[in-house]
Amino acid sequence: MPRPRGGVGDGVWVCVVVVTLVVLWGPSEIKAEPKFECPPTTKYFFPCNCTGGGERGLFISCDNTNLASIAVGLANIRLPIEELRMNKCHFKKLYGDIFNNVILINLVIEDTPLEEVGNDVFRPVGNTLTVLKIHRAPLTKVPTPALSDLKELKLLEITEANLTTIPSAAFNGLSNLVILTLSNCSLNNLHKDSLQGLSKLKKINLSYNNLKNVPNGVFRGKRQMKVLDLAYNKFNKLDSKYFQDLNQLTWCNMSHNEIKNFGRNPFARNQVLGWLSLSHNQLTKVDARTFRSMRFMRRLYLNDNKITSVGRGAFGNIGRIATIDLARNQLPFVDGRIFVDFEFCEEINLAENKITTIKSNAFVNLFLVAVNISHNQIATIEPDAFVNTRNITILDLSHNNISKIPKEAFPGEHSYMTDLRLQFNNISTLADVPFHFSGVKIVNLTYNRLEHIPRRTFPKLYELHTLDFSHNRLSKIDRSVFSNLYSIRQMDFSYNNMTTLFGSIFGTLPTLLKLDVSHNHLNRISRAMFANLVSLRELFLNNNEINTIPLVPQSLNYLHLQHNNLSQLPSAHTWPQMNALLYLDLDHNKLGDTLESGSFRNLNSLRYLKLRNNSITTPPWQAFAELQTIQYLYLDHNKIENLTRGAFGRLPVVFELSLSHNGMMNISKQSFEGLLQLLMLNLSHNALHQIPNEAFRGCVSMQSIDLSHNFLKKIDNETNGLLDDLLSIRHINVSHNLFGTVSKKMFPYHKWIPYNVQTVDMSYNMMPVLHKNLLIGLQKVKKLNISHNIVNIIRPSVIGNLTHLEVLDLSYNELEALGNSVFGRGKALREVHLQHNHLISIPAPVFMSNENLTYLDVRNNNLHVFYEVFVPRVTNGTVIRYSENPVECDCTLRRVRAWLDTWLGSEKWRDIVCASPLHLAGRSLPMISEEELRCSDDRRASDLYQVNPDIRFRLAGHNPDQMEKLDVSWYVTTQEDVGGFNVTVYNMTSGKTVASSALSYSSRREKFSEVPRGRYRVCVGTHDSLQANRALQPAQCHGFFVSHAHTHHTHTILSIILALVLPLLLMR
């Protein structure tokens, strides 16, 4: 009987499925959406922007603005704000009601000229603000009254200020503060009660100041303090009183001070200190008492001091140490019993001292540690210098004067080391280097004085994989010297003095992958020298004097033979069957025309062949015939002057052919016949004066051709073009030639063939005019370079009809003017380069109407004006380069100058320099005020060219200048410091002041109900945040006519009369 639908069982199954899905996907797959998101439109937040949302609120950024504008923007945000960032704003005092009705958690003020903070400004956010950061603001004192309202503040960060001192109880009331940063604040001293009330403080950063000491008791009661940063100050001593109250301190930075001595047990009460930096001071010695009580120390940095001695047992009490850094001191030697029993040590750094000797028992009982003693003057390593140093990960003894390392320095039958670095020393014989490190993996002996590697140099080393003997004086390597290296993978013998390689030097090393014997003087190599290296992948024989190629292993992938004396490749027995060789470099040899059939026989997988600079005069097509897998062929810098038909034979998969720098003068028809897959052809830097039309017949796959740096004047015969056979051509370079015009058949075109030319370079030619022939064949071109010609005329609609053109370069020509029709419909343009012409005007509105334009360069022209239409596009990210033009700086630039004040990127325009008038010549436009930009003609009276006012009136209605009651409103138009408004009403008949009022910066409206009928002039002045009045501009005053201001008074009288008369009338 079927179970009824909707029964209990269904519910059980649903629950099982849901639980299974939750278990399978897990909680990590469930991504919680942020609780608060930016609204679709934030125009009402202006000048602030919403940059994101989070679990606690929005992220709001207010850049380059003032208190008056920020207050209105914040008032329109009805959601909590997780972070408010005020960047490069304009106010010297933060005060008033800016945070009224705002829920704010984090506040960041940076790059703002803030000098004062009002007493009550933080009161509205006192219960929500947890983070306050003030960066790069010239505060002169700690705003104690304002901070006292922030009961929930946990992080206070003030950097790059001018505080100089912290008075008593400066942070009183911040009972929940955990992190305090006062970095780079020019602090000279602290009061002993400066930190009073900060009972929960865990981290304090006082770095980059001028502190010379810490007053006694300043840290009293800070039992939770764990991190103290006093770096970059002027302390000259370490006093135990500084830290005596910090018994929970775990991290302390005293670097970059002037400390000369440790004092007496300065960290006696800091027993849990684990990280200490005293680097970059003037310490001279370390004794046994210095770190006596620091049992939990893990990282100790004493580098960059003047330490000349370290007492025995100086680190004896810090057995858990992981890092000891003594680099860049003046230690003359490493004494015995210094680094002993460091079971947990990871790094010991003694680099760049003056160490000459490592004494016996200097390093004892170390495990898995990296020891760096490089860049010293070590000449002597005494016996037992390294005792029971098990598994040293790295021993760096490079850049010293070591000539011998006695085996006794590492006592025991077997010592252990992973990486031994001995480069840049004076070792002349390998008998003076111990190799009994059974775990060694890397040995570096470059830049020594080795001349010979004798037999039995190496014992059985099962893990050694890299051996570097480059940059020595090696002239001889004995036979079978490497036979005990069972895991060797890389060996480097480059830059030595070897002339011959004979015998089984390398034997049958089965694991060797890379061998480098380049940059020697090899002229004779036994034929089977490398034949048995069955795993070899890369062999470097370049920069020698080799005249015969030795037998190479079949496993080889890359063979470098450039810069040798090879004069021929015999057809017989040169190459075994090579199925792995991909790359063969024969550049800079002396092969000439000796390559023949069989020269490359058996190279069955070769992809790259380089034959540059070999004095070849004719392409060796017979030698190439067997290279059926060749894809990249380079014949540059030879002497191939002529190409006959089918000059390269049939190479079915050649993708790239380079024939540059050959002095080539003649190319026959169908010279490249047989190269069916040729994609790129380079014929640049030759002596070609003409090329027959059918030269490239058959090259139907070619996508790129380079004909630059020749003497070509024409590449067509007015009926057919040279490039017509290139059905797939996309990139054409004919720069640095002698073209004087673009002919009709210069570029491939046929109404039935879909040519797709995308980039054309015609720079460095001699073209004076661009006419409609340019449109033939280039309808799909995206990048066109016609720079460095003599272009002075562009016919209408030529460039504009290249509707796919994205990048146009017309720089370094002789253009004087560009009409509006030049660019026409060219709406795909992204970049236009017009620099270094003689332009006196440009069609700026046409450029700016193109929404795709992102870059316009008009530098070094004769433009006298800066076009205002550029302003909105630059704000949206378009780059406009305008320097080196003789700009006339008059009142027409006032609006541009006002815009520069609103844009954070205005410093990018400092290279726009005024040429006139005389008193502004040579000055950068962003550095000139609006008032200095003046006009002497009628334009100075135009509202269009007035200095930007601080406010403008809101005028609405059919007759905005007439109202029944005087009720004015306005909006702020400047980003400069506006901290309040002064509204004054003048009678236009008598000139007397009728009314006035002072308003806060958040006000935008004022009513004067008692002003009688008449004409009035209302002025809204401003003052900055320090109450200094700002200049009143004409636009900040406006005339109004009050028509019925007495209406209210009349209505009142009538109401009284009616109240008295109406009862009498009713009684009758």
**Contact criterion met (CB below 8 Å) for 646 and 670:** yes
362-391 mean pLDDT? 91
Residue 940 in this model has a pLDDT that exceeds 70: no
149 vs 902: which has the higher pLDDT: 149
Query: Which pLDDT score is estimated for 24?
Result: 40
Do 157 and 133 touch, CB atoms closer than 8 A? yes
Cis peptide leading into 47, omega within 30 of 0? yes
- At residue 372, what is the residue type? N
Residue pair 370/348 in contact (Cβ under 8 Å)? The answer is yes
121 beta partners: none
Residue 798 or 682, more confident: 682
Mean pLDDT within 845-852: 85
- The whole-number average pLDDT for the span 534-544 is 97
Q: How many CA atoms lie within 13 A of 554 on its CB side?
A: 6
For residue 421, name the pLDDT band (cuts at 50, 70, 90): very high
> How far is residue 727 from each of residues 704, 777, 951, 1025, measured CA to CA in Å?
11, 12, 64, 71
What pLDDT shows up at residue 930? 76
CATH architecture of 43-162: Alpha-Beta Horseshoe (3.80)
SS3 721: strand
Q: What is the pLDDT of residues 198-243, one digit of tens each?
A: 989 999 999 999 999 999 889 888 889 999 999 999 999 888 888 8
* pTM for this model (two decimals): 0.86
pLDDT at 18 over 60: no
Q: For 951-1050, give the CATH class.
A: mainly beta
Spatial neighbors of 862 by CB under 8 A, at least 6 apart, are: 816, 838, 839, 840, 885, 886
Question: HSE-up of 1047 (CA within 13 Å, CB side)?
Answer: 9
The predicted-structure confidence for 675-706, as pLDDT tens digits, reads as follows 999 999 999 999 999 999 999 999 999 999 99
| Residue boundaries of the structural domains of the chain | 43-162, 951-1050
Closest-CA residue to 134 (of 174, 96, 104, 94) = 94
**Cα three-residue angle 11-15-17, rounded to 5 degrees:** 115
SS3 490: strand
Residue 447: phi and psi, rounded to 5, are 55, 55
Q: Is residue 804 within 8 Å of residue 828, measured between CB atoms?
A: yes
Name the average pLDDT for the chain: 88
835 burial via Cβ count (<10 Å: 0-12, 13-18, 19+): buried
718-770 pLDDT, tens digit per residue, is: 889 999 999 999 999 999 999 999 999 999 998 899 999 999 999 999 999 99
Q: Count Cα atoms within 13 angstroms, Cβ side, for 659.
A: 29
**What digits encode the pLDDT tens for the residues 463-493?**
999 999 999 999 999 998 999 899 999 999 9
Q: What is the pLDDT of residue 873?
A: 75
Residues 6+ apart with CB under 8 A from 243: 219, 228, 249, 252, 266, 267, 269, 270
C-alpha–C-alpha distance, residues 677 and 668, integer Å: 20
Give the model confidence (pLDDT) of 94-131 as tens digits: 999 999 999 999 999 999 999 999 999 999 999 999 99
CA–CA distance, 618 with 610 (Å, rounded to integer)? 15
Residue 244 has pLDDT above 90, yes or no: no
**How confident is the model at residue 165, as a pLDDT?**
93
Q: Examine the pLDDT at 1066 and tell me if it is beyond 60.
A: no
pLDDT band at 1050, cuts 50/70/90?
A: very low
**Whole-angstrom Cα distance, residue 635 to residue 672?**
14
Please spell the DSSP secondary structure of 950-979, one letter per residue: SEEE---SSSTTEESSEEEEEEE---S---
Residue 958's contacts (CB-CB under 8 Å, 6 or more residues apart) are none
Q: Return the percentage of the chain with pLDDT > 70, whole number.
A: 92
Q: Smallest Cα–Cα separation from 392: which of 347, 434, 357?
A: 347
Copy the structure tokens of residue 114: 């803030």
Question: Tens digits of per-residue pLDDT, 631-661?
Answer: 999 999 999 999 999 999 999 999 999 999 9
- Cα separation values, 701 from 161, 692, 708, Å: 66, 19, 20
**Residue from 892, 949, 900 nearest 916 by CA:** 892
Better-predicted residue by pLDDT, 107 or 910: 107
Q: What confidence tens digit (pLDDT) does each residue in 400-415 have? A: 999 999 988 988 756 6
Say what the pLDDT of residue 825 is.
Answer: 67
Region of residue 542 (left: phi > 0; alpha: psi -120 to 50; beta: else)? beta
Does position 325 have pLDDT exceeding 90, yes or no? Answer: yes
| CA R_g for the chain | 42
Burial of 58 (0-12, 13-18, 19+ CB in 10 A): buried
Q: 885 burial class (0-12, 13-18, 19+ CB within 10 angstroms)?
A: buried
Reference 457, options 476, 472, 265, 471; nearest CA is 476
H or E segment at 848?
Answer: helix 844-848
84 CB-near residues (< 8 Å, 6+ apart): 60, 61, 62, 74, 104, 106, 107, 108
For residue 1031, give the nearest of 936, 952, 972, 947 by alpha carbon: 947
